[in-house]
Amino acid sequence: MEILIFAGSTRQDSYNRKLARAAAEIAADQGAQPTLLELADYDIPLYNADLEARGTPPDVIRFKQALHSHAAWIICSPEYNGSYPALLKNAIDWASSPVKGDAQWADGVLPFRNKVVGMTSASPGALGGLRAQSHLAPLLLNLECWLAPRSHAVGLAAEAFDGQGHLLRPQDQKGMQAVIAQVLWAAQRLQAQ
């Protein structure tokens, strides 16, 4: 089973990028084939319908393809002002926007429909980004994603990783293992239908 893992951050020393890398290692340990996607590798401008009218940017199509080609996802979202960041919302807005005249991408929900998504987050605060997850969930449900009931938030993230980016606390290791296992289990069953 392939699983797409990405962080809603491009910051060099982002806790959520560390969490995404840790998730990829955990997924591989569980027998999955992780794809670690970096949003910084995609030239996705701020969404603007006038810009879109001139043609959907090629990296948006590439991002749509990456989302669509994986039945299972893990999203590691930062929390900014009690919600998920504009970078993540912008990427999702572009990926869900229909491409007029394109046989495949005219359906804006196609990259999201029936994807099983595990929500995770890391934050310097004690809640670990739970408020960001609570805002992200309705957006993903609106796009016809299946959300795993399990989620995990890494609180006090400045103390959560070692020098190589591995999770230090057993509760974070077990929490991430549980989310990934549930996402893989559900995605396998949904694909079998």
How would you write 128-168 as a 3-class SS string?
A: CCHHHHHHHHHHHHHCCCEECCCCEEECCHHHCECCCCCEC
pLDDT at position 120, please?
98
pLDDT at position 179, please?
98
Q: Which tokens in the block code for residue 152?
A: 């995990």
Q: Which tokens in the block code for residue 55?
A: 């043609």
Residues in the chain, overall count: 193
Give the residue carrying structure tokens 């959300």: 147
> CA 111 to CA 97: how far, in whole Å?
10
pLDDT, averaged per 10 consecutive residues of the chain (193 residues), comes to 97 97 98 98 96 96 98 98 97 97 95 98 97 98 98 98 97 98 97 81
Q: Which tokens in the block code for residue 77?
A: 């979202």
Q: Is the pTM of this model over 0.95?
A: yes
Find, among 118, 33, 112, the residue nearest to 75 by Cα. 118
> CA 23 to CA 179: how far, in whole Å?
10
pLDDT at position 64, please?
98
pLDDT at position 32, please?
98
pLDDT at position 192, please?
81
- Cα 69 to Cα 28, 64, 65, 114, 173: the distances in Å are 18, 9, 6, 12, 27
> CA 170 to CA 181: how far, in whole Å?
16
Domain ranges across the chain: 2-192
- How many Cβ atoms from other residues are within 10 Å of residue 39's Cβ? 17
Find, among 8, 6, 3, the residue nearest to 132 by Cα. 8
pLDDT at position 139, please?
98
CATH code of the region 2-192: 3.40.50.360
Find, among 123, 98, 124, 120, the residue nearest to 109 by Cα. 98
3-state secondary structure at position 180: helix
